[in-house]
Structure 1
Amino acid sequence: MALEKLEQWLEKYWLGELSQVEEMQFKSELKANKGSLKGELKQMAEWFESHEEVKEHLRLDDDFDEKVMNKIHQKSQPKDSWNWMKVAASILVVFALGFFAWWMPQQQEQKQLAQQEEKAYKEAKATLELMASMMNHGKKHLSSLEMINTAQEKVKNTFQPDRKENKKEGQDG
């Protein structure tokens, strides 16, 4: 019967339904019947016993409360109202943002300039290609003029010796 009562108290203990009086009775029964207990009840008896031993040996100093309160007050007061690392980081962030605010438009301007240069290059290239094709087309017509030039030279050369003779005769007479 005592074993059944202990198991019921153990169940109530884990559920948190034991009153203080029942808990004291439960602990004293476990201590008294420690040798005959098995399983979880034996483990609980050993745990309560070791817990009681630790409680007996555990003593706080007289100035424990004072030490704890001093540590609490030290942590609650700020050590340095101006944390210079935070200030330096803030300044660095502001400078970085300022730099990027200046740099981004510069990059956009350079991209636009590069695009304009590329467009101008393509237009100049197209214009020069057009001029080259027109000049090549005109070159075909120049060949007929070249033939006329050649014919003129031949005619000129054939009649030129007579002119020289005429000039010589004109000087004599």
Structure 2
Amino acid sequence: MGIATRDSLRDWLRAPGSLSRRLARLGERFEVQVLRQGVVPFRALERAALGLPPRGLTVVREVILRVDGEPLVWARSAVHQRATTGPWRALKGLGARPLAHLLYDDPMISRSELQPRRLSRPGHTRRHAARQWQAATGATMSPQMLWSRNSVFSRGGTQLRVMELFAPALTGHRPGRPFP
């Protein structure tokens, strides 16, 4: 497979609505593998996207989205810790269900514009995702796995940031169409 570029993943980076639902249409079995859910210090990009103060804690959920056992997306969601006792409390009990169950079934939730972003190979997020990918799949994350999309969901005056990092295996596949 060639290098996954923004152009080859353009449809995935721009696809509106639920990524989980689009991925589920690619095969027979869609799974959410929860890698971590817990409280961690703010990261600068998340703090900025959520409009939070310089110090504080975030509830983070990191997962791998799989279709027919194949890992296709590493995703991280982050919300201010206080919001999990308010508008985002359902996040605590989500377990292995897709985050889409919370985000797209509630008319009170709005979403920002999708923001594609190329990760730096030596950057913290890429290194962290690669460690988790290796531990969860037993395989090294592809060096071409660099393109992500970010968006912020708002509910009740608080925001939740979602970042999705795409595997090169999605290159050339249109969202929602089955693998050949």
Q: What TM-score range do you get, normalising by the shorter chain?
A: under 0.3
Bigger relative CO (Cα 8 Å, ≥ 6 apart): 2
Q: Which one has a larger percent helix, Structure 1 or Structure 2?
A: 1
- Alignment TM-score, normalising by the size of structure 1: 0.15
Larger Rg: 1
TM norm structure 2:
0.14
